[in-house]
Amino acid sequence: MAVSLARTAARVLIGGLGLCAMIAMASAQEAAAPPGTPAEQGAPDATGADDVKQIKLTDDQVTRFIAAQNDLASIASKIQAAGDKPDPALQTELEGIATKHGFKNFAELDDVAANISIVMAGLDATTGNFVDPVDALKKERDDVQKDASIPEADKKQLLDELNEAISTTPKLQYKENVELVKAHRAEIEKALQ
């Protein structure tokens, strides 16, 4: 089963990225996925807000995701270099990492990563409070619309980018994932550094 390596690389490297940067990078890379990729197989894809397979996370899944990050980080450059054309050897390596950490396959690890990413993107860095990423993007869009100091051409580009991000960002379905991810937040952030 082929996976979107570009999206995985984005998730592996989300530490330190801003909300819009992470969403835009994942969306742009997913949109270029070739036929036969996860989107056609029912797996997550950032080309539409409904394409991410949202799941109710378990403590065990989050712990195993954290444990897998060292192995994923060790091949991050291979993942990025592969772009949307993974070779079979890299695919096998990714499947091996997933099963080593107790996942059925890489698709399951990727689903867990997607759900953790949704929550992490919505956590305020200072307060730790969760704001749904879609709501945060809408607020940012409203702020840009009201800002008279932004030149019109720049404002139009920003609004287009924000509208695209809003249309490709899923609303959180499982609110209980927030508390679970918050409980592991420090470990997740450390693992993603």
DSSP string, the chain: ----HHHHHHHHT-TT--HHHHHHHHHHHHHTPPTTSGGGGT---TTSTT-S------HHHHHHHHHHHHHHHHTHHHHHHHTT---HHHHHHHHHHHHHTT-SSHHHHHHHHHHHHHHHHHB-TTT--B--HHHHHHHHHHHHHH-TTS-HHHHHHHHHHHHHHHHHSPPPS-THHHHHHHHTHHHHHHHT-
165 neighbors 27 (Cβ within 8 angstroms): yes
The full set of domain ranges for the chain reads: 5-191
Inter-residue contact 133 to 19 (CB < 8 Å): yes
- The per-residue pLDDT of the chain, averaged, comes to 78
pTM as predicted:
0.69
Q: pLDDT digits over 122-173, tens only? A: 999 889 999 998 999 999 999 999 999 999 999 999 999 999 999 988 889 9
Distance CA 141, CA 58 (A): 33
